[in-house]
Structure 1
Amino acid sequence: MRVYIPATIAMLRQLLDNGELRALSGTAFALTPALRESYTTGSAEELEYAALLEAARASLRLLGADDAEPARRVVVSADVPDAKPRPDLDHAVVRLPGPVALSMIAALHVDTPDAEDHVRAAAKVVDAADLGDPDAEFTLGDAEDHELSWYATQELPFLLELL
């Protein structure tokens, strides 16, 4: 199953150092049967993209107040055959059985530098947006207007070096 793991730049550094990624609480997102049922239309590609966007939103929650790392949403795409759907949590949520090895990772998706101010602001209000605050939703929308850039796993050292 292709999963989308919310992450941070610091987690990418750990991935490079350790050769594996540990998702917070083992949580990731994927095109699950529940997600497919929640949409009346949409191709598999469109629904996979919806799962990726859910992971990007979740990555906002991982960003702390620490300004040492760039404020960028990070999503790691990986193929994890034993991921278990968790429809009790949300339509796209899956639980990973353990750390994800670098060899299982298909791609990295990371915000570009021009998104940092919007991402930093969105990280502060993501919970309020989820609770329906219209101003917070607007701020979150500013961050979500930025497309994530795609990187191959071989590019990880260079990506981190350029930050």
Structure 2
Amino acid sequence: MVRVYIPATLTMLQTLVADGSIHARSGTAFAVTPTLRESYFQGDDDELAEVALREAALASLRLLAIEGSGGGERSDRGIGVAEGLPPRRAVLVAEVEGATVRPDLDDAVVRLAGPVEISDVIAAYLDNAAAESAVLAAVEVIDEADLGNEDAEFTVGDAQDHDLAWYASQELPFLLDLL
């Protein structure tokens, strides 16, 4: 079993709760991989897990941008707002089998073999309401940040500076009802 950090959106969490399983986008998740360990001179497992979590949170911003784009230009209806959901990053923590290391993509990237069952989910990390404006701003410029625009990188960094709140997997249905 491997502990993985799966980037998600609130819409994806609703699917997980309703269907009992979730498909990670392109099967992509993050984990403490051998390549990640080698890239850090020092750091214990908890520190390396934090790196994987932060990478998954960054990928969650990209998922929010995709949700908001609808395949074309971004609109105010996107980013979960159309469904009445606030714009927040989400990361699922799960224990899975069959995760394949993908160092060709990045140090912490793994490919999942299939869907993740809700019974495999240990916890979820989510932004709180205070992060929403920073998340919205980051979603608007995430592509530019990926291309090296320094102002956009700063904006994405502002969103990444917000700590994610931890929730046990059993709390997800109640948490989604409260949003």
For normalisation by structure 2, the TM-score amounts to 0.89
CA RMSD in angstroms comes to: 0.9
Aligned to 2:88: 72
Which of residues 118, 123, 129 is equivalent to 1:113?
Answer: 129
Return 5+ residue gaps in structure 2 as ranges: 69-77
Deviation at 1:157, TM superposition (A): 1.0
Paired residues for 1:2-151 under 5 Å: 2-63=3-64, 64-65=67-68, 66=78, 67-68=81-82, 69-151=85-167
SS at match of 2:87: coil
Question: Which shifted more, 3-12 or 128-137?
Answer: 128-137
Q: Which amino acid aligns with 1:131?
A: L
- Give the Cα–Cα distance (whole angstroms) in 1 for the partners of residues 32 and 109 of structure 2: 9
Task: Please state how far the C-alpha of 1:4 moved relative to its aligned partner.
Answer: 0.3
Does residue 153 of the first structure (1) align with residue 169 of the second (2)?
yes
Q: For residues 42 and 125 of structure 1, what CA distance do their matches in structure 2 show?
A: 31
Please report how far the alpha carbon of residue 123 of structure 1 lies from its aligned counterpart in structure 2 after TM superposition: 1.1
Q: Give the fraction of aligned pairs with identical amino acids, expressed as a percent.
A: 60
Task: Provide the rounded CA distance (Å) in 1 between the counterparts of 2:13 and 2:168.
Answer: 13
Offset, 1:6: 0.3
| Equivalent residue letter for 1:80 | V
Q: Distance in 2 between matches of 1:147 and 1:126?
A: 18
Deviation, structure 1 residue 117? 0.8
C-alpha deviation, 1:126, in angstroms? 1.6
Q: Distance in 2 between matches of 1:128 and 1:44?
A: 32
**2:40 alignment partner AA:** Y
Q: How many residues align?
A: 163
Give the Å deviation of 1:130. Answer: 2.4
1-structure distance, mates of 2:149, 2:43: 28
Q: Structure 1, residues 98-134: CA drift from partner, whole Å, max 9, x if none?
A: 0000110010000001101100110121222222211
Deviation at 1:81, TM superposition (A): 2.2
